[in-house]
Structure 1
């Protein structure tokens, strides 16, 4: 067993990890954090009686004090990282995802806290969210090179986690080379992914199944895509036969990238697209009606203290969106706010339906796609929530 000083918990605070195998230990549960914890990789976590709860990555500057990678007294095997990366890749290989873009590693969902890896065609984009994962980056790259020969590996620095964790590695290629961009194919439609300059790792892979669901009802309809980013929902709807697609986004750079993607698809007429650089709420106030609306906003609440304001925002957004639906129209609406759970979001949707004055059917509850697994016992991993609604 490691002789390094352990993170020690307060009396009785080991229960979530031991009973539910919950991978997060919060700061208020910690009695002692040794100096320098988190800089050298895994640390031992002990209960107040000295028994070992598990092993994990300490984060002294975060509300989450430790992210556990194993439970119980036994220290993880030397090749624990490589085994879990290989297991995550094997699971994806059996999913039958019809795209050359997918999430290979979903942090706690693949029992690899602090590590996200997304594949975009010939490039794997890696994002580190915890300080203890940085010393392991060379091992991550070596393992990915064995699993996916010839793939480029790009490290995308997440500035939020970098500030909280004190991360030092900069964005850039760890294997191979390129210009920070690539082209992927999803649902028969090509799209530009700018992983060097785009949000997160460059593309929202979690919405793939929901884009497919949206495409399945898009033929012959007019479409309004709110918070469109680089237009993935718009491209999929157009590819499925939508007659008009209006996309509203506050980032001009994102809209320009979306237009670039249209040019990669000769079967899509640029004339059917309208790219609107505007505030979504201002645009909805115009009252124009559409047959199909997508509302996929950025997080309205990252912390619990922000939930009340977020719920007001979701209520306003969905009430206005429902009023802009043509009779028989369909709304795909989402929340990616981790602090807003499914029950809260459903209550907001129901209230918005009442206030809109429309008769609304809740057709389908929506989730992140299958390559974004959630570990049993870790409900916080399920951040994306959504509904497919029909309004008379």
Structure 2
């Protein structure tokens, strides 16, 4: 079956030729190929203004980001076999990276399946579709997942806010197999219970796996504050790494209940303290000081229009945390906001340090885990950034200055 043509304007093929996969509606020659002629999710062959085929995309005439390229092979058939090939290629990479089957299996554009996210929890798969194009191909995606890994369960977590942009309904259901909500996750020599249907996102945040392991080097015999702790993915391994006390703060009582259950499962209850509280309020009111503080907030800048307000929130958050840090303490500060750059976060830390007159040093720079690869042409796929900093006491600076003068 031949696919309809989506024609681009003159010179609007440059981004695709540079490796990108997105096409905006103002790049389309709507005189030759009116968007009104397409239905959301239709497959098309994208052509340059010179009629050169550029590949197969799916289209949504109702959105600013009007089309996403699935493959540059314009004669390719998009079917179950196509998805089996892409899923298997991504799976082969994860097999090289991880010993156990707990990881992000598909990271959308970075794994060349735009609009699709898939997380693996051993024999349970949680998949999330964010675009009308992938929604229309849902049956093929499900069949391919079953063929490649023969899971016990496949869950659709199609409840993201972005689906509103694509004019898609939000829902969660069991697509295949047994009805599962609570599931075991193994990570960093720890075992957790997570909520796959009712938890945040897909139930777990694999992107910080390596950063959690890195923080274990800083906590032996130290007191730790874990703000926005969720299910304890930082707190539990840090307690097992030798922290004397880990204080966990989250606004969700359900999340805190799971922290306690996960601490019990990992035999570290004695070191875990919990608070159901708003993070900003807790940081503002507590008088307790800590040796190590973990700041891993949800995205505080969800849209470009929220940038300035979100930037102020990040600075306030980091300043309150830095004020609670003991001399020579360590602050882990991260952001998953796509609209906040590494430089922005660094400036938040710098301004917080200056405002408090508490000098800091950056000792490590943080990124997302290896199961969240970065597409080199799509900066948005490099979304997670962070820093590990240490507080350099002012007294130490004064002593150094005095020694130099002498």
Q: 1:28 matched to which residue of 2?
A: 26
Structure 2 unaligned spans of 5+ = 393-406
Q: 1:316 matched to which residue of 2?
A: 316
Query: RMSD over aligned Cα, in angstroms?
Result: 2.0
Asked whether the 8 Å contact 1:134–1:169 carries over to 2, the reply is no
Q: State the Cα distance separating 1:98 from its structure 2 match.
A: 4.7
Structure 1 unaligned spans of 5+ = none
Q: 1:89 matched to which residue of 2?
A: 91
Q: Distance in 2 between the 1:327 and 1:361 partners?
A: 12
Q: State the Cα distance separating 1:384 from its structure 2 match.
A: 0.6
Asked whether the 8 Å contact 1:221–1:242 carries over to 2, the reply is yes
Q: Distance in 1 between the 2:280 and 2:3 partners?
A: 57
Aligned 1:155-174 pairs, distance under 5 A = 155-168=156-169, 170-174=171-175
Does 1:201 pair with 2:202? yes
Asked whether the 8 Å contact 2:224–2:291 carries over to 1, the reply is yes
Does 1:102 pair with 2:103? yes
Q: 1:365 matched to which residue of 2?
A: 365
Q: Residues 169 and 280 of structure 1: is their aligned pair in 2 closer, same or farther, counting only changes over 3 Å?
A: closer
Asked whether the 8 Å contact 2:225–2:247 carries over to 1, the reply is yes
Classify the secondary structure of the residue corresponding to 1:376.
coil
The TM-score with structure 1 as length reference comes to: 0.92
Residues 338-375 of structure 1: per-residue CA shift (max 9 Å, x gap): 11122222222222222231221101110110010111
Q: Distance in 2 between the 1:365 and 1:272 partners?
A: 28
Aligned 1:288-299 pairs, distance under 5 A = 288-299=288-299
Q: 2:400 matched to which residue of 1?
A: none
Q: Distance in 2 between the 1:230 and 1:31 partners?
A: 49
Q: Residues 235 and 335 of structure 1: is their aligned pair in 2 closer, same or farther, counting only changes over 3 Å?
A: same
Q: 1:38 matched to which residue of 2?
A: 40
Q: 1:149 matched to which residue of 2?
A: 150
Q: State the Cα distance separating 1:151 from its structure 2 match.
A: 3.3
Classify the secondary structure of the residue corresponding to 2:145.
helix
Structure with more relative contact order (C-alpha pairs < 8 Å, separation 6 or more)? 1
Larger radius of gyration: 2
Q: Distance in 2 between the 1:215 and 1:63 partners?
A: 43
The TM-score with structure 2 as length reference comes to: 0.89
Q: Distance in 1 between the 2:63 and 2:85 partners?
A: 27
Q: Distance in 1 between the 2:102 and 2:73 partners?
A: 36
Classify the secondary structure of the residue corresponding to 2:46.
strand
The 10-residue stretch of structure 1 (204-213 or 180-189) with the greater mean CA deviation from structure 2: 180-189
Count residues in correspondence.
386
